[in-house]
């Protein structure tokens, strides 16, 4: 895996892209130094786990989702919070958990880009309408085998550039929220969720998905 990248150059490239889309930059926001990316299996498993958890937000019974995860050898790849959701005796998700699981869609979109299923991860564009077709259909109990076989990690240099861009776009959209100005077409929630996925992919030292940092 190619991990050679010039973070100062990437920072300048990201800033130019943000400016070209009408955004603002923060000169003192530092360059990133990630250089310990995760392996293919871990990233692929994370995408499948999140895809399964999204189905719970859309009303799928938790025992059914747990059984699918078990059959596909994914229980070990769940985050601590995801395990608690599966084990909860409550019939309905609380509103915050339901919202959080819905937002997983943005992270999964980033992960399928990392896995080379889509050509671009445009920072100002919404999730593509083809996302569902790229992932196993749990309604018919489709396994994750085909997804795994097609999953190919992008070179780390590409992932790093995307992360850097999302990191700086996150600052801009957050600053707009805090100071009451519109950052369209930069959407804070979309950017934050995708950045989290890219951060997690780029740093094997992060112990749990739930602990992935997204500070700016």
Confidence band, pLDDT 50/70/90 cuts, at residue 216:
confident
Domain of residue 148 covers 7-210
Look at residue 37 and tell me if it is in a domain. yes
**CA-CA distance, 72 to 131, in Å (whole number)?**
20
pLDDT at 4: 73
**CA-CA distance, 110 to 198, in Å (whole number)?**
7
Look at residue 2 and tell me if it is in a domain. no
Look at residue 216 and tell me if it is in a domain. no
**32-77 confidence digits (pLDDT tens):** 988 899 999 999 999 999 999 999 999 999 999 999 999 999 999 9
CA torsion 208-45-73-41 (nearest 10°) is -100
Look at residue 166 and tell me if it is in a domain. yes
What is the model's pTM? 0.95
Number of domains in the chain: 1
Look at residue 12 and tell me if it is in a domain. yes
pLDDT at 3: 52
The mean per-residue pLDDT over the stretch 182-199 comes to 98
Q: Answer whether residue 169 shows pLDDT above 60.
A: yes
**82-133 confidence digits (pLDDT tens):** 999 999 877 788 999 999 999 999 999 999 999 999 999 999 999 999 999 9
Look at residue 185 and tell me if it is in a domain. yes
Q: Answer whether residue 1 shows pLDDT above 60.
A: no
pLDDT at 92: 80
Look at residue 215 and tell me if it is in a domain. no
The mean per-residue pLDDT over the stretch 144-164 comes to 97
Look at residue 25 and tell me if it is in a domain. yes
**9-26 confidence digits (pLDDT tens):** 999 999 999 999 999 999
Q: Answer whether residue 162 shows pLDDT above 70.
A: yes
């Amino acid at each position: 895996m190619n991990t050679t990248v010039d973070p100062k150059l990437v920072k300048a490239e990201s800033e130019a892209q943000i400016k070209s889309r009408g955004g603002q930059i923060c000169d003192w926001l530092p360059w990133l130094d990630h250089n310990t990316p995760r392996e293919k299996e871990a990233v692929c498993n994370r995408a499948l786990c999140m895809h399964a958890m999204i189905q719970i937000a859309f009303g799928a019974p938790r025992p059914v989702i747990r059984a699918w995860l078990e059959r596909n050898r994914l229980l070990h790849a769940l985050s601590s919070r995801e395990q608690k959701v599966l084990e909860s005796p409550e019939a309905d998700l609380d509103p915050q958990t339901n919202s959080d699981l819905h937002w997983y869609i943005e992270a999964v979109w980033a992960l399928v880009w990392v896995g080379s299923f889509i050509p671009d991860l445009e920072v100002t564009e919404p999730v593509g309408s083809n996302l569902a077709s790229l992932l196993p259909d749990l309604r018919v109990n489709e396994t994750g085998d085909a997804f795994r076989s097609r999953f190919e990690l992008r070179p780390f240099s590409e992932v790093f550039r995307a992360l850097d861009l999302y990191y700086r776009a996150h600052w801009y959209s957050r600053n707009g929220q805090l100071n009451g100005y519109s950052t369209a077409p930069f959407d804070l929630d979309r950017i934050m969720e995708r950045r989290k996925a890219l951060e997690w992919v780029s740093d094997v030292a992060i112990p749990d998905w739930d602990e992935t940092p997204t500070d700016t």
